[in-house]
């Protein structure tokens, strides 16, 4: 379960209370608040928009839906005469897919959750998303500058937001998560252990790990995708964006490159170092491995900003405090990095009310919206200064992690290029699942390299055959 899954799979059972236009009756706070406004706009539109009614669809998971109801109310008050209809569900894709197929999609969608996000891949492949470049090139809601200047560096340029490599933005960033290695801060503080900044420094702490009765490292063994949280930033640290492009764009040469050799060399070193990997790790699920870490059985574990809340009721060693170190570097003096993953908001190209949808999207990035999102969802938007705006509503641990990225820790992100339509491969599974065999000493790096080289060649052949 990588963050693409975990960040979105809080699965709260709920029904779709508000509906898209033409799908049922209105209800819920947003529509209740806007009932009179909607009736008024139907007869005499005073909103300033050609069409004052907006239909949006949102994923309702662990974050709930209260933020969306409240921000809709706030927008309707700021723009009298507008009316917002909200459809919210844990299985939002099932509700909107028939509308999309029929050519009548919602005007704006926040799609998350592992069962829902494939619909975004389909919209990207079909070039069925509205170009949002003008929204981010234009002024923010306050008129203080271009909206793009508020977004965290590198986010709009990433494939997650600009999927075609043409410099145009088709997916808007929303909540983001930060991932890397975690440790017990109280242990480090009480024993005078320095937080490692390089991999050499981390491995040098193996003696301290032994002295304190724990292994150096563990991870969520049944879900080796968690290891992307240290692998992807490490690739960037060794080879920069060029190496990441090789990795994510299926360049077979990556698997014989220096970036591969150094980064997967860390995996091999963990596996072969005495006390390097906690015994039994590869057979543990995520909660089991995380509980073992909390109980003091390992010094380090990869995870993300949801870690503290996800494990709030789990047993732990006395005095445990969450500490986040990011991802160590290979060279002394290089900046520590972290993996980031950003949720997305989109406007379908066939939306009926693109003008109002873009105005509402711009409103989501106001300071008031960022604060409201933190208060209602305990989440942080991918914009500069968001951690300080969210600070009153999130834990000190969560704040410190987000603040580290906001203050200069290198934020690394990326995603695999879309595979050919009908491909039998899931690149993430193909790349990360065999790592368990390396950890078990059942597969050498040479065998792994050969396996992945063949995979990348196969993926490229599939793309060529499909005209990509």
Domain boundaries, the chain: 3-176+342-404, 177-339+435-465
Burial 43-63 (b: 16+ CB within 10 A, else e): eeeebebebbbbbbbbbbbbb
Whether pLDDT at 245 is above 50: yes
Q: Which CATH class is domain 177-339+435-465?
A: alpha beta
Structure tokens at 457: 């060649």
3-state SS track over 306-362: CHHHHCCCCCCCCCCCEEEEEECECCCCCCCEEEEEEEEEECECCCCCHHHHHHHHH
> Do 177-339+435-465 and 3-176+342-404 have the same topology in CATH?
yes
User: What local confidence, expressed as pLDDT, does residue 14 receive?
Assistant: 29
pTM over 0.75: yes
| Short-list 443, 411, 410, 414, CA closest to 427 | 414
| Distance from C-alpha of 465 to C-alpha of 460, rounded to nearest angstrom | 9
In the DSSP assignment, the letter for residue 255 is G
Task: Say how many C-beta atoms besides its own lie within 10 A of residue 204's C-beta.
Answer: 12
Question: What confidence tens digit (pLDDT) does each residue in 291-332 have?
Answer: 999 999 999 999 999 899 889 999 999 999 999 999 999 999
Q: Answer positive or negative: Cα dihedral of 300, 301, 306, 309.
A: negative
Report the DSSP pairing between strands 108-111 and 337-346. Answer: antiparallel
Q: What is the model's pLDDT at position 44?
A: 61
Determine contact, residues 362/136, Cβ cutoff 8 Å. Answer: no
Share of the chain above pLDDT 90, in %: 77
Handedness of CA 447, 451, 454, 456 (dihedral sign): negative
The pLDDT tens digits of the residues spanning 255-284 come to 999 999 999 999 999 999 999 999 999 999
Q: Please count the other Cβ atoms lying within 10 Å of the Cβ belonging to residue 103.
A: 9
How far, rounded to the nearest angstrom, does the alpha carbon of residue 354 sit from its chain's CA centroid?
26
Take residue 2 and report the two structure tokens written for it. 């990588």
The answer to whether 128 and 348 have CB atoms below 8 angstroms apart is: yes
* Strand pairing report for 172-184 and 322-326: antiparallel
- Which three-class secondary structure state does DSSP give residue 323? strand
How far apart are the C-alpha atoms of 200 and 186, rounded to whole Å?
22
What average pLDDT score do residues 377-387 get?
A: 93
Cβ atoms 62, 10 nearer than 8 A = yes
Q: What is the dihedral of CA 316, 175, 244, 196, to 10 degrees?
A: -30
Tokens of 323: 């500490």
pLDDT at 64: 84
Residue with tokens 């933190």: 374
Structure confidence at residue 468 (pLDDT): 66
Its CATH architecture, for the domain 3-176+342-404, is: 3-Layer(aba) Sandwich (3.40)
Strands 337-346 and 172-184: antiparallel
Query: What is the C-alpha separation between 14 and 58, in angstroms, rounded?
Result: 12
| C-alpha to C-alpha distances, 360 to 85, 106, 295, nearest whole angstrom | 12, 13, 46
Can you tell me which residue has the tokens 């990207």? 124
* 388 or 115, which is more confident: 388
Rounded Cα gap, residues 171 and 259, in angstroms: 30
Q: Write out pLDDT tens, residues 13-44.
A: 222 323 233 333 333 333 333 333 333 334 46
CB of 93 within 8 A of CB of 118? Answer: yes
Residue 125: band (very low, low, confident or very high) from pLDDT cuts 50, 70, 90: confident
H or E stretch covering 216 = strand 215-217
Cα-only R_g, the chain: 23
Mean pLDDT value across residues 250-258? 98
pLDDT at position 286, please?
Answer: 94
Phi, psi of 129 (to 5 degrees): -110, 145
More confident residue, 291 or 341: 291
Q: Mapping DSSP to helix (H, G, I), strand (E, B) and coil, where does residue 380 land?
A: coil
pLDDT digits (tens, 9 = 90+) for 430-466: 999 999 999 999 999 999 999 999 999 999 999 999 8
Burial grade of 212 (CB within 10 A; 0-12, 13-18, 19 or more): middle
Q: What is the pLDDT of residues 98-123, one digit of tens each?
A: 999 999 999 999 998 777 888 998 89
Q: How far apart are CA 83 and CA 27, in angstroms?
A: 12
Q: What is the mean pLDDT of the chain?
A: 89
Q: Any idea what DSSP says for residue 106?
A: -
Nearest Cα residue to 391 out of 407, 375, 404: 375
Give the helix/strand (H/E) hosting 177.
strand 172-184
Cα–Cα distance for residue pair 139/149, rounded to 1 Å: 10
Residue 5 has pLDDT above 90, yes or no: no
């Amino acid at each position: 379960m990588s963050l693409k899954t975990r960040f979105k799979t809080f699965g709260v059972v709920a029904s779709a209370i508000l509906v898209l236009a033409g799908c049922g009756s209105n209800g819920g706070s947003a529509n209740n608040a806007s009932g009179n406004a909607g009736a008024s706009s139907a007869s005499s539109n005073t909103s300033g928009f050609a069409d004052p009614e907006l239909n949006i669809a949102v994923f309702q998971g662990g974050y709930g839906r209260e933020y969306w109801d409240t921000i809709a109310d706030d927008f309707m008050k700021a723009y009298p005469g507008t009316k917002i209809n909200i459809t919210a569900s844990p299985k939002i894709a099932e509700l909107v897919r028939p509308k999309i197929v029929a050519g009548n999609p919602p005007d704006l969608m926040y799609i998350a959750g592992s069962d829902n996000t494939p619909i975004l891949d389909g919209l990207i492949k079909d070039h069925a998303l509205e170009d949002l470049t003008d929204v981010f090139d234009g002024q923010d809601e306050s008129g203080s500058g271009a909206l793009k200047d508020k977004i965290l560096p590198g986010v709009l340029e990433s494939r997650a937001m600009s999927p075609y490599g043409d410099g145009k933005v088709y997916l808007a960033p929303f909540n983001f998560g930060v991932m890397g290695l975690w440790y017990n801060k109280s242990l480090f503080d009480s024993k005078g252990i320095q937080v490692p900044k390089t991999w050499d420094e981390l491995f040098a702490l193996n003696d301290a790990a032994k002295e304190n009765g724990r292994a150096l490292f563990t991870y969520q063994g049944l879900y080796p995708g968690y290891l992307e949280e240290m692998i992807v930033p490490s690739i960037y640290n060794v080879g920069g964006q060029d190496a990441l492009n090789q990795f994510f764009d299926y360049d077979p040469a990556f698997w014989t490159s220096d970036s591969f050799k150094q980064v997967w060399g860390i995996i091999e070193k963990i596996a072969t170092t005495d006390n390097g990997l906690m015994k039994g790790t590869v057979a543990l699920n995520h909660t089991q491995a995380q509980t073992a870490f909390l109980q003091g059985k390992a010094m380090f574990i990869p995870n993300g900003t949801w870690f503290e809340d996800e494990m709030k009721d789990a047993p732990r060693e006395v005095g445990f405090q969450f500490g986040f170190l990011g991802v160590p570097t290979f060279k002394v003096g290089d900046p520590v990095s972290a993996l980031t993953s950003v949720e997305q908001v989109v406007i379908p190209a066939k939306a009926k009310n693109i003008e109002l949808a873009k105005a509402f999207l711009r409103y989501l990035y106001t300071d008031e919206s960022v604060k409201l999102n933190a208060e209602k969802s305990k989440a942080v938007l991918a914009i500069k200064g968001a951690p300080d705006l969210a600070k009153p509503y999130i834990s000190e641990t969560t704040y410190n992690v987000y603040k580290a990225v906001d203050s200069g820790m290198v934020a690394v992100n990326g995603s695999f290029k879309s595979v050919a339509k009908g491909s039998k491969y899931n690149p993430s599974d193909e790349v990360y699942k065999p790592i368990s065999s390396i950890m078990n000493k059942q597969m050498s790096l040479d065998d792994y390299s050969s396996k992945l080289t063949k995979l990348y060649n196969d993926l490229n052949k599939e793309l060529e055959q499909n005209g990509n």
